[in-house]
Amino acid sequence: MSVPNQGDDENDPVWDEERFATITKSIEETIVVESNSKRIYSCDEEAQISRETRKLSLYQLVKLPIDEAARLRLKYRHYLSFARSCWRQRSGPRYMRYMRACSRRLCEIMTRRFFLHWALDPFMELTHHRLPMLCSELIMNKLKNRDLYHVCLAATGCERAMPTGSSSWSRWDYL
């Protein structure tokens, strides 16, 4: 996934829905990692090796809850340096599983701010502006990335194909 240089500071450019759709399509596979992220916690020794950004090691970043990690306001280059430092360490099937889980977790943390920023207006539209913005933000902070993604999809009218062949499925299980 390429890392855009824009959006590192408070003067983020205003993005339209077309750009949102393009970006979310490229990160769609990485936003549903809440269930997979628990695998990382058992790989303590490899994660301790990677460290440095703001006296925060990769181990500490991965252990943080998503909301706290997103609040750190790390720049995209920090995430990139975390990822690069990990890839240089070791090889092997166990380590590659760890790296995939770690990469997914970093993507999830990175995309958290993106989805919180983008889902506010669609959420307000879906509630017909009946809730104050502060209440809407509090509700959105409780949602996971995939839920915020679905809020944005619902507001834009996009619909994903439902899975076939299974009678006991939920709308949210297939993503």
Count of the separate structural domains present in the chain: 1
Confidence check: pLDDT of 1 > 90: no
Answer whether 0.95 is exceeded by the pTM: no
Tens digit of pLDDT for each residue in 66-99? 888 887 777 777 777 777 766 666 666 777 777 7
Q: Is residue 143 part of a domain?
A: yes
Q: Is residue 75 part of a domain?
A: yes
- Which residue, among 33, 37, 38, 62, has the nearest Cα to 49 in the 3D structure? 62
Q: Is residue 109 part of a domain?
A: yes
Q: Is residue 1 part of a domain?
A: no
User: What pLDDT does residue 94 have?
Assistant: 72
Mean pLDDT (whole number) for 42-60: 53
Tens digit of pLDDT for each residue in 106-131? 888 888 888 888 889 889 988 999 99
Q: Is residue 111 part of a domain?
A: yes
Give the residue numbers spanning the domain of 77.
Answer: 56-156
- Alpha-carbon distance 22 to 35, whole Å? 25
| Percentage of residues in the chain having pLDDT higher than 70 | 54
